[in-house]
Each structure stands twice: as structure tokens, then as C-alpha cells.
């Protein structure tokens, strides 16, 4: 394929789902740019529209199908427009996407992005294109992503997942786990530092099971900590069973590693955790949190929780509620269980919690978490926090915003501070989601 296959053609990528999908969209943009395509300033200018999708919950898939129907009007206006669907939902639904949205020109799964230029050429010749093979070795490590400029860079360090949680579609749509060699990652991080990124976020479905054959996740953290120009290191999402004592020590000892962890709990009932095949008990999760807090007293903890999984009784739900009260997470993403075709739960377990009961449990846990997040954030009133400035606040151009080390969004009056700088801000007010600061000194 010629380097200039895309001469004069502009693409626009829309991303649904997790940070891994954002990172994949940057990868796709990199592939297209290296073939001579250009990023369009907006959707109207695009010759190629790519929707990068998520399959984790049914709701996400329904939203994409609705959105694809809306995008049909661009095809009506411009019959040469190419519309593609990529990512996890593409892999999950396969040709059913074309049945649901016949105006879609290509469908490409997470291991076949290299074929984007071929897919576009086929579409321009009038042929629909599907590439849904999973490739155990594909890590794309020599492809330069087209990153959005900013303070924070996403860096995928491993792809796929071996955990086989019964509720989760990820292993079926992203394949088995494989890690990128440490040398390639370190070269990329050095480049990120040169490009002015102050923060790097390491990504993987179970990011801390990273192993390139010789180096584990802790080795990688230590090595990145030594790279000049990188000021903060984060990672998502670790799996509780892969948190080693070495990793906790490294997080405690190395200054650039943020004292924040997103540690999916899923349920506070050991019975449900077993049905989910999470490989830890509620007690083990709690002990892990206690151990981490002992070694890292300022650690902020976020989590994921699923309400209404197969077989979840009121007693199981109360166990989750109680664990959330005990741990006091800083933040949480909370979901109703959504059966996903192909998963073990879908095949073998009854989705037996009625929808209204799932809704009630979800609302109860959200209300509890909102109260806890507010109490934790109000506890910071009067304290000084260090914020890495990201830029103008979306809500008020007179304010700047950024994140604390503990990943709390902080908004404060515009001063001379610029994106990429660290400022000390005194917390004057707080909601459960945002800290509001006084002018930095
Ligand atoms: N790999 C990570 C893990 O399991 O630790 C996160 C994967 S997923 C993209 C993010 C979250 O979505 C999960 O932690 C889980 O809480 C939620 N999730 C996954 N499958 C789900 C399902 N079938 N129904 C509802 N929530 C789900």
C-alpha cells in the first residue's frame, strides 16, 4: 500500500468506552496518518468516519447502533463517504453490525487495525470489508500513535486478558494477554517526555499482569520513574490478584508514581466474587486495601462495582454495601449487570435479578458512594493540594483545571499558570467530584 494512499482524504474517529479505546483511536490515527490521510477538523469535513466501539455493556452497543443510524445522513449527503466500525463491538457483533446498519462499509476488530487503509480502499471500490481475526502476537509496538496534544499521554503496555471473569466480554473481543517489550515502551516514554507530556498513564485490561518475559510491572514502573521530563505515572486497571508486595513497595518508594489506584472490586460478597471468577474473597480484597494503606497512607482508591449479578441476593448486595462503607473509596464506577452474549455467565448462569431490583441496588450504592466521595473531598477543605495544570476549565474560561496526585479534578482561578505546570492550590470548596481552589500562590 502506498504511503500516500490517503492523499487529500480526511478522517474523523469517534471513540466510545474506556481509555484503552482512546489509546486505540490514537493508534488508528497514527496508521492512517502514516498512509497520507489527515485528521479532519470536524465531522462535516470528513471523507472517512470511524466509530471505535465498546462491548462491555449492552447499553454501549445500543448507543452505537443509534449513532450509526444518525451518521447515515452524512452518507446521503456524500455518497463517497466511507463509514467504518472498529474495536470491541465490531469484534463482538461481527457481520450483525452490517445487518443493523447496512450503510457501514467496514468492520474491523482490535487486532486488525493495520488493515484500515485496505478497508478504506475496498470501500471506495464498493466492497464491504470485514477483518475480525484475533492475533495472539499483535501489539502494534512499532506503530507511532497520533496523540492528542496535552499534559497526559496514554500508553498501552499490554493487550488482551487472561482472567476470564464470567461477566466479561473482553477476553473474547481482545484475545489473550500479551505484553510489549520493555525497551520499546521506555523508548516511547522518552519520546513522550521530549514531546512535552508530563504524565504517562499505562494501560492494560489487567495492567499489572504486565510481563515481557524478563520484566514485570514493578520493573517497568521503576524504569519509567527514572525518565527525565516525566513527572507523574499512573496506570489502569490493575487486578487485585496481581498486586504483589513488590508492586506496593515500588508505589510507596518512587516519587513519580501517583498515590492513586483504581482497583475493581465488582462485589463485596465472596459468593458472588466466586461466581464471577474474580479469584479473591471479600476479606482478601479488604486486607489488600489495608496493606496498601499501611504502606501508602495518602493512597486514594477508586473502584468498579456491578450491581445485580447472577444469583446476587439482598444479603450479597448488603455485603457489597457494607464493604463500600468500610473501605470508603474516593470514587467508583458502578454498573447494573448486563449479560453479554459469549461470556461464561451468559452461557451458564441465570440473569435472575429483576431489572427494577438491579436499578434499586445500583441507586443505593451510587447514593452511598456519592456521600462518601463528598465527605472525603470536604475533608480536604483548607488543605493545600498540588495540581498538574491541564488547561482551561470547560465550564468557566476564567478558571483553570487539573488533577491532584490522587486524581481529583481541581478547578481554580486563572492565574499565570500554564498547562503542564504544577501549582499549589488551597481547597476552598468541594463536591463529590471536584475540588475548588483559591488562587495559587
Ligand atoms: N479489566 C478490568 C477488570 O476487570 O478489572 C476492567 C474491564 S471493564 C472495561 C470495566 C468495568 O466494566 C469492569 O471492571 C466491570 O465493573 C464493568 N463490567 C464489565 N462487564 C460488565 C457486564 N457484563 N455488566 C456490567 N458491568 C460490566
Query: Each residue of 167-179: pLDDT tens digit?
Result: 999 999 999 999 9
Q: Is the pLDDT of residue 3 over 70?
A: no
| Mean pLDDT, residues 27-39 taken together | 96
Are the CB atoms for 218 and 207 separated by under 8 Å?
no
> What is the crossing angle of helices 182-194 and 217-225, to 10°?
30
- Please say whether the dihedral angle defined by the alpha carbons of residues 199, 203, 207 and 211, taken in this order, is positive or negative: negative
CA 105 – CA 51 distance, rounded (Å): 12
| Structure confidence at residue 104 as a pLDDT band (50, 70, 90) | very high
> What is the crossing angle of helices 282-295 and 245-253, to 10°?
30
pTM, rounded to two decimals: 0.96
| Mean pLDDT, residues 399-414 taken together | 95
Calculate what percentage of the chain has a pLDDT beyond 70. 98
Q: Give φ, ψ of 379 to 5 degrees.
A: -65, -15
The per-residue pLDDT of the chain, averaged, comes to: 95
Please identify, by atom number, the ligand 1 atom nearest to the C-alpha of residue 305: 16
**Ligand 1 site, residue 18, Cβ cutoff 6 A:** yes
CA 159 – CA 156 distance, rounded (Å): 7
Q: Is the pLDDT of residue 22 over 60?
A: yes
Quote the ligand 1 centre to 421 CA distance (angstroms). Answer: 34
Q: Is the pLDDT of residue 41 over 70?
A: yes
Query: Strands 399-404 and 409-413: what pairing?
Result: antiparallel
Which tens digit of pLDDT belongs to each residue from 266-302? Answer: 999 999 999 999 999 999 999 999 999 999 999 999 9
Which tens digit of pLDDT belongs to each residue from 236-270? Answer: 999 999 999 999 999 999 999 999 999 999 999 99
Q: Is the pLDDT of residue 416 over 80?
A: no
Which tens digit of pLDDT belongs to each residue from 177-212? Answer: 999 999 999 999 999 999 999 999 999 999 999 999
**Ligand 1 site, residue 106, Cβ cutoff 6 A:** no
Are the CB atoms for 248 and 263 separated by under 8 Å?
no
Residue with cell 452511598: 368
**Ligand 1 site, residue 210, Cβ cutoff 6 A:** no
- Which one, of 416, 427, 341, lies nearest residue 386 by Cα? 427
Dihedral, CA of residue 253, residue 254, residue 260 and residue 264, to nearest 10: -80
> What is the crossing angle of helices 19-34 and 116-124, to 10°?
70
Q: Is the pLDDT of residue 220 over 70?
A: yes
Residue to mutate, 236, 335, 365, ligand 1, most ligand atoms under 8 Å from C-beta: 335
Residue to mutate, 16, 174, 304, ligand 1, most ligand atoms under 8 Å from C-beta: 304
Q: Quote the pLDDT of residue 266.
A: 98
Q: Is the pLDDT of residue 89 over 70?
A: yes
SS3 (DSSP) at 200: strand
**Ligand 1 site, residue 337, Cβ cutoff 6 A:** yes
CA 421 – CA 401 distance, rounded (Å): 11
Quote the ligand 1 centre to 433 CA distance (angstroms). Answer: 21
Pick 287 or 415 by higher pLDDT: 287
Which tens digit of pLDDT belongs to each residue from 42-82? Answer: 999 999 999 999 999 999 999 999 999 999 999 999 999 99
* 430 CB-near residues (< 8 Å, 6+ apart): 374, 377, 378, 380, 381, 436
**Ligand 1 site, residue 369, Cβ cutoff 6 A:** no
CA 128 – CA 120 distance, rounded (Å): 9
**Ligand 1 site, residue 334, Cβ cutoff 6 A:** no
Calculate what percentage of the chain has a pLDDT beyond 90. 94
Q: Quote the pLDDT of residue 415.
A: 74
**Ligand 1 site, residue 338, Cβ cutoff 6 A:** yes
Are the CB atoms for 53 and 87 separated by under 8 Å?
yes
CA 207 – CA 224 distance, rounded (Å): 15
* 231 CB-near residues (< 8 Å, 6+ apart): 198, 199, 256, 388, 422
Amino acid at each position: 500500500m502506498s504511503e500516500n494512499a490517503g492523499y487529500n482524504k480526511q478522517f474523523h474517529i469517534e471513540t466510545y468506552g474506556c481509555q484503552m479505546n482512546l489509546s486505540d483511536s490514537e493508534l488508528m490515527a497514527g496508521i492512517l496518518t502514516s498512509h497520507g490521510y489527515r485528521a479532519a477538523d470536524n465531522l462535516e469535513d470528513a471523507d472517512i468516519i470511524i466509530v471505535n466501539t465498546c462491548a462491555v455493556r449492552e447499553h454501549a452497543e445500543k448507543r452505537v447502533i443509534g449513532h450509526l443510524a444518525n451518521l447515515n445522513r452524512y452518507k446521503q449527503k456524500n455518497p463517497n463517504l466511507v463509514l467504518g466500525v472498529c474495536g470491541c463491538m465490531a469484534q463482538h457483533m461481527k457481520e450483525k453490525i452490517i445487518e443493523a446498519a447496512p450503510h457501514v462499509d467496514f468492520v474491523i476488530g482490535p487486532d486488525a487495525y493495520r488493515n484500515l487503509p485496505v478497508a478504506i480502499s475496498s470501500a471506495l471500490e464498493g466492497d464491504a470489508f470485514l477483518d475480525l481475526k484475533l492475533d495472539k502476537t499483535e501489539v502494534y509496538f512499532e506503530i507511532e500513535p497520533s496523540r492528542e496534544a496535552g499534559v497526559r499521554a496514554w500508553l498501552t503496555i499490554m493487550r488482551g486478558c487472561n482472567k476470564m471473569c464470567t461477566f466479561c466480554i473482553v477476553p473474547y473481543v481482545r484475545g489473550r494477554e500479551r505484553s510489549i517489550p520493555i525497551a520499546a515502551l521506555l523508548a516511547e516514554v522518552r519520546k513522550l517526555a521530549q514531546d512535552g507530556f508530563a504524565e504517562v498513564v499505562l494501560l492494560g485490561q489487567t495492567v499489572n499482569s504486565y510481563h515481557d518475559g524478563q520484566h514485570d510491572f514493578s520493573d517497568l514502573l521503576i524504569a519509567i520513574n527514572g525518565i527525565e521530563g516525566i513527572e507523574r505515572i499512573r496506570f489502569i486497571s490493575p487486578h487485585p490478584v496481581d498486586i504483589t508486595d513488590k508492586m506496593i513497595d515500588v508505589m510507596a518508594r518512587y516519587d513519580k508514581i501517583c498515590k492513586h489506584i483504581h482497583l475493581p472490586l465488582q462485589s463485596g460478597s465472596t459468593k458472588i466474587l466466586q461466581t464471577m471468577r474474580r479469584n479473591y474473597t471479600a476479606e482478601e480484597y479488604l486486607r489488600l486495601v489495608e496493606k496498601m494503606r499501611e504502606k501508602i497512607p495518602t493512597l486514594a482508591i477508586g473502584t468498579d462495582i456491578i450491581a445485580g449479578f447472577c444469583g446476587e441476593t439482598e444479603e450479597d448486595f448488603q455485603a457489597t454495601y457494607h464493604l463500600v462503607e468500610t473501605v470508603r473509596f474516593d470514587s467508583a464506577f458502578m454498573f447494573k449487570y448486563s449479560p453479554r452474549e459469549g461470556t461464561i455467565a451468559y452461557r451458564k448462569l441465570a440473569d435472575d435479578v429483576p431489572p427494577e431490583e438491579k436499578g434499586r441496588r445500583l441507586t443505593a450504592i451510587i447514593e452511598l458512594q456519592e456521600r462518601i466521595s463528598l465527605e472525603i473531598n470536604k475533608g480536604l477543605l483548607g488543605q493545600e493540594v498540588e495540581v498538574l495544570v491541564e488547561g482551561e476549565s470547560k465550564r468557566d474560561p476564567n478558571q483553570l483545571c487539573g488533577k491532584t496526585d490522587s486524581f481529583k479534578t481541581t478547578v481554580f482561578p486563572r492565574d499565570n499558570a500554564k498547562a503542564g505546570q504544577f501549582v499549589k492550590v488551597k481547597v476552598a470548596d468541594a463536591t463529590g467530584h471536584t475540588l475548588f481552589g483559591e488562587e495559587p500562590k
